[in-house]
């Protein structure tokens, strides 16, 4: 004979069964995104990587990306497509990268201009460096070179300063845009020497060098790769390096400090960041792949030709480095009164 179960007990059991079923169903649904994410991680990379270079083709940043990109492609087993997105001194391409999906398929060629300088002079950039990017690695560091055009008959920094003082507001200097290293470096020179010079911004350093060759501007601080061929051919004259120490690529070229501007030291840098919330394991894989790419002899040789030094790092080291650079240029921008043109 079957024992009778009180109605209240049966109702309680039904409620428990319904609740348990819902919880199990919820748990199954919750596991699905985790499984999909794990599968995507195992498959990464299953398609080409997009590497945003926020400057025009032919400039130093573009050359750095292309030198490393081919070797990175070998390491990850997928093509690495360089996507040039110039504008606002590198800020336009950086904003595009900040809005990309954090899936490990979009990289940004990080540079001193959009990530350390521009935040202190531009409002509404469309990104916040600390909030929107995860660091992967530092790639390289190097000085810029002060070069003068064919129409400017000066051979030393001292002569350039004397001419600028004699003709206030007349000499024109170019840059790759407001907030770029060339802009801040020249404004630092102007501030330290009490001179008055006119800033002419371009979308990239390569364009400023083209106008320098044409006599439309008088001088520019530019990277070695953009100017080396013109200097060698005698079309431009290199008169100083922006770093505190002489560059190994041009050991006979004096520094700004040696040229009569004591304490002058400006070095640019490049690295790789990805959109924030990219899986940390993908970041680690990218870091390992990029470090192997940087270790290739041809990449090192290419960097030497560009006048820059390989500087690989861990993601944590690069985060610390960027924070220090952000703070440094905040102080410097305030000291020299740097503003967007």
Same domain, 172 and 137: no
Q: Count of domains in the chain?
A: 2
Is residue 253 in a domain? Answer: no
Collapsed DSSP state (helix, strand, coil) of residue 54: coil
**What's the rounded Cα separation, in Å, for the pair 54 and 273?**
13
End position of a domain, from candidates 224, 241, 258: 241
Same domain, 172 and 233: yes
Collapsed DSSP state (helix, strand, coil) of residue 222: strand
Same domain, 107 and 171: no
Is residue 64 in a domain? Answer: yes
**What's the rounded Cα separation, in Å, for the pair 161 and 169?**
12
**What's the rounded Cα separation, in Å, for the pair 205 and 61?**
10
Edge-first strand order for the sheet with 133-143 is: 80-84, 49-53, 106-111, 267-275, 133-143, 309-310
Is residue 26 in a domain? Answer: no
Q: Which of 266, 279, 284, 237 is nearest to 325 (CA)?
A: 266
Is residue 212 in a domain? Answer: yes
Is residue 27 in a domain? Answer: no
Domain containing residue 129: 49-142+268-336
Collapsed DSSP state (helix, strand, coil) of residue 154: coil
Is residue 323 in a domain? Answer: yes
Same domain, 163 and 130: no
Q: What is the pLDDT along the chain (341 residues), one digit of tens a residue?
A: 444 555 655 565 466 556 555 555 555 555 555 555 555 566 899 999 999 999 888 878 888 999 999 999 999 999 999 999 998 888 999 999 999 999 999 999 999 989 998 898 888 889 999 999 999 999 999 888 999 998 898 999 999 999 999 999 999 999 988 778 888 899 999 999 999 999 999 887 888 999 999 999 999 998 877 888 899 899 999 999 998 888 877 889 999 999 999 999 998 899 999 999 999 999 999 999 999 999 999 999 988 888 888 999 999 999 999 999 999 889 888 887 776 66
CATH of the domain at 287: 3.40.190.150
- Please, which contacts does 253-259 make with residues 24 or more away whose CB atoms are closer than 8 Å? 253/145, 254/157, 256/146, 256/157, 256/189, 259/156, 259/157, 259/158
Is residue 261 in a domain? Answer: no
CATH of the domain at 161: 3.40.190.10
Q: Which of 293, 275, 315, 249 is nearest to 74 (CA)?
A: 293
End position of a domain, from candidates 226, 241, 256: 241
Using only the alpha carbons of the chain, give its radius of gyration.
26
Same domain, 208 and 223: yes
Is residue 19 in a domain? Answer: no
Determine contact, residues 29/59, Cβ cutoff 8 Å. no
Residues comprising the chain, all counted: 341
């Amino acid at each position: 004979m079957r024992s009778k179960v009180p109605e209240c007990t049966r109702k309680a059991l039904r409620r428990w069964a319904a609740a348990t079923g819902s919880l199990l169903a919820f748990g199954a649904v919750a596991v699905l995104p985790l499984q999909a994410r794990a599968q995507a991680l195992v498959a990464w990379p299953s398609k080409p990587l997009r590497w945003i270079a926020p400057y025009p083709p032919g400039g130093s940043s573009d050359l750095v990306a292309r030198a490393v990109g081919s070797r990175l492609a070998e390491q990850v087993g997928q093509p690495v497509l360089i996507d040039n997105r110039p504008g606002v001194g590198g800020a336009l391409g950086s904003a595009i990268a900040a809005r990309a999906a954090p899936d490990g398929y979009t990289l940004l060629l990080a540079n001193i201009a959009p990530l350390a300088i521009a935040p202190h002079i531009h409002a509404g950039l469309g990104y916040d460096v600390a909030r929107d990017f995860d660091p992967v690695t530092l790639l390289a560091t190097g000085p810029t070179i002060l070069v003068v055009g064919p129409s400017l008959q000066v051979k030393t920094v001292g002569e350039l300063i004397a001419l600028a003082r004699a003709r206030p507001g007349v000499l024109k200097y170019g840059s790759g845009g407001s907030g770029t290293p060339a802009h801040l470096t020249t404004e630092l020179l102007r501030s330290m020497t009490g001179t008055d010079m006119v800033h002419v911004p371009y979308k990239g350093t390569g364009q400023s060098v083209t106008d320098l060759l044409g006599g439309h501007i008088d001088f520019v601080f530019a990277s070695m790769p953009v100017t080396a061929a013109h200097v060698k051919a005698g079309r431009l004259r290199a008169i100083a390096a922006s770093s505190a120490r002489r560059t190994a690529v041009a050991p006979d070229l004096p520094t700004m400090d040696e040229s009569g501007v004591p304490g002058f030291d400006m070095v640019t840098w490049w690295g790789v960041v990805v959109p924030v919330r990219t899986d940390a394991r993908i970041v680690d894989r990218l870091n390992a792949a990029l470090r192997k790419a940087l270790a290739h002899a041809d990449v090192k040789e290419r960097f030497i030709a560009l006048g820059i030094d390989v500087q690989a790092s861990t993601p944590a080291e690069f985060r610390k480095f960027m924070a220090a650079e952000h703070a440094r240029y905040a102080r410097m921008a305030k000291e020299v009164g740097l503003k967007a043109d």
